[in-house]
Amino acid sequence: MDERVNRPETEVPPLSLPAPRRRRRWWLVVALLIAAGIGVVVWYYTHPAPQGTSQTATQPAEQRAAATPPQPVGAATVDKGDIRIILNELGTVTPLATITVTTQINGQLQEVGFQEGQMVKKGDFLAQIDPRPYQMQLEKDQGQLAHDQGLLDQAQADLKRYLTLGRQDSIAQQQVADQHFLVQQDQGTVKLDQGAIDTDNLNILYCHITAPVAGRVGLRLVDPGNYVLAGSTAGLVILTQLDPISVIFTIAEDNVPDVMAQLSAGATLAVDAYDRSNTTKLASGKVGTIDNVIDPTTGMVKIRALFPNPKAALFPSQFVNARLLVDTLHAVTRVPVAAVQQGAQGAFVYVINANNTVSVKTVKLGVTDGPLEQVLSGLSPGDRVVTDGTDRLRDGATVTVPAAKATGQATTQGTTTGTTTGTTTGTTTEPGTPAGGPGGHGGQPGAQGQPAAQGQPAAQGQPSQ
């Protein structure tokens, strides 16, 4: 029989590890910790720290900045000068006259008197319509005029006789009055005939088409031999006036008062037209007129500027950039645009101090004129600012201005020659001074051979020794 029978389950007491095994685990952990400590001590003594590390770590930030080699930068000098107020707007070249030359009479186009793209003058021959039908009509109307003129002469002679007989009471006064009215009718007929002759002469004149203005003709729209109609809107050719020509552009309504003030004072506002990329100057002109209403949908007002265009530098419907000179500010503080940086505090510049360190100064700016910008506050004429190499600068950093960076006109700093004009960069030294001349305090030579003052940096931003 199967011995697997139900037996009462008995609880098995849990096994417990013997105490000696637990003690062996604790000794193993302690041994590992001791080995790790010995390894750290050995590594520390076999890999000594570089000299000066502990001293550098304890140095203040200013001393570490002073120990950093000077960073070469480009510099410029803040000056006083003129700043132009210029509005840069988008414009379209618009001819003063664009004429679709059409025929005013019906007829066959016999001849075309121009070449496509030709420059023509006012009154030059353009096209000829067949005049023969109108010449024959002229002869017919002239014959009718002669006939009616004869009837008028006869009626006038009869009236003269009737007036004499009427005074003698030889005929009735009614007959005299009727003859008078007949003369008036014949006079009207003669005037009607004369009007028809004048119309015929005008139609013959219309057969000879001439240029209404001076300009450039486009492509021919109708070939000779076609029958043209007076009511056609296609025309024979399009004539465009090129010289002078205009540019229409818009300005914001906020700028209208300044422009109107100049125009009302009789000033001539100059406008320069640049190409699509805004790099090449095409022509110079002046403001011709300003529109009489502001567009309510855009808040802009149109201005037409007139340009002489003898070389056809401006082409009809060409897209250009218009630069309107509104006013010029004189004797204002100027700084190069490259020196201005933007940060959380707004616009700021790096000013080079006398000890060849830089300081951050917040500035308030005004009008921008090309590479220069007006300074309202924060800088004074004569301050030197960093224009190149500002990406790694910080407040208090030491800088140097290499000779390659010191370009532009000379400024009077230290011992220099010449005067300050415009925005300058760097400094120059008096010509003829030997390089490597006597230096400042301590007998070290200053940069560019100029003696550096005691405790002051040498020219070109090099610190004295």
Show the 3-state SS of 105-161: CCEEEEEECCCCCCEECCCCEEEEECCHHHHHHHHHHHHHHHHHHHHHHHHHHHHHH
Q: Round to whole Å and give the CA distance between 394 and 345.
A: 15
Inform me whether the pLDDT recorded for 225 exceeds 90: yes
Which of the two residues, 86 and 7, has the higher pLDDT score?
A: 86
| Ranges of CATH 2.40.30.170 domains, the chain | 86-96+241-329
- pLDDT, averaged across the chain: 80
Mean pLDDT, residues 441-450 taken together? 38
- The pTM of this model reads 0.62
Q: How confident is the model at residue 67 (pLDDT cuts 50, 70, 90)?
A: low
Q: What pLDDT is recorded for position 227? A: 94
Inform me whether the pLDDT recorded for 122 exceeds 90: yes
Q: What pLDDT is recorded for position 165? A: 87
Q: Round to whole Å and give the CA distance between 363 and 379.
A: 7
Q: What is the CA radius of gyration of the chain?
A: 50
Question: Any bridge partners for residue 46, and if so which?
Answer: none
What digits encode the pLDDT tens for the residues 429-440?
333 333 333 333
What digits encode the pLDDT tens for the residues 8-25?
454 545 444 455 555 566
- How far does CA 101 lie from the centroid of its chain? 35
CATH number for 101-239 (one of 1.10.1040.10, 2.40.50.100, 3.30.365.10, 2.40.110.10): it is 2.40.50.100
Q: How confident is the model at residue 26 (pLDDT cuts 50, 70, 90)?
A: confident
SS3 25: helix
Which residue from 288, 194, 241 is spatially nearest to 99, judged by alpha carbons?
241
Q: Round to whole Å and give the CA distance between 390 and 341.
A: 9
Q: What pLDDT is recorded for position 416? A: 33
Inform me whether the pLDDT recorded for 318 exceeds 60: yes
Query: Do the bridges between strand 319-336 and strand 300-307 make them parallel or antiparallel, or are there none, so unpaired?
Result: unpaired
Which of the two residues, 443 and 37, has the higher pLDDT score?
A: 37
Q: What pLDDT is recorded for position 46? A: 67
Which of the two residues, 412 and 274, has the higher pLDDT score?
A: 274
Q: What pLDDT is recorded for position 162? A: 86
Which of the two residues, 18 and 224, has the higher pLDDT score?
A: 224
Q: How confident is the model at residue 94 (pLDDT cuts 50, 70, 90)?
A: very high
| Ranges of CATH 2.40.420.20 domains, the chain | 64-81+331-429+457-461
Was domain 64-81+331-429+457-461 assigned CATH 2.60.40.420? no
What digits encode the pLDDT tens for the residues 142-170?
999 999 999 999 999 988 988 888 888 88
Q: Round to whole Å and give the CA distance between 268 and 72.
A: 47
What digits encode the pLDDT tens for the residues 267-299?
999 999 999 999 999 999 999 999 999 999 999
Q: Round to whole Å and give the CA distance between 242 and 217.
A: 10
DSSP H or E segment with residue 86: strand 79-95
Tell me how far CA of residue 325 lies from CA of 83, 267, 276, 313, 320, in angstroms: 11, 11, 19, 21, 16
Q: What pLDDT is recorded for position 21? A: 55
- 86-96+241-329 CATH fold: Elongation Factor Tu (Ef-tu); domain 3 (2.40.30)
Which of the two residues, 112 and 233, has the higher pLDDT score?
A: 112
Q: How confident is the model at residue 456 (pLDDT cuts 50, 70, 90)?
A: very low
Tokens of 164: 């004499």
Mean pLDDT, residues 229-239 taken together? 90
Tell me how far CA of residue 146 lies from CA of 141, 143, 192, in angstroms: 9, 5, 12
Q: What pLDDT is recorded for position 23? A: 58
Q: What pLDDT is recorded for position 432? A: 38
Of the given ranges (122-126, 230-234, 248-252, 340-344), which has the lowest mean pLDDT? Answer: 230-234
Inform me whether the pLDDT recorded for 28 exceeds 90: no
Residues of the chain with pLDDT > 70, as a percent, come to: 75
| Ranges of CATH 2.40.50.100 domains, the chain | 101-239
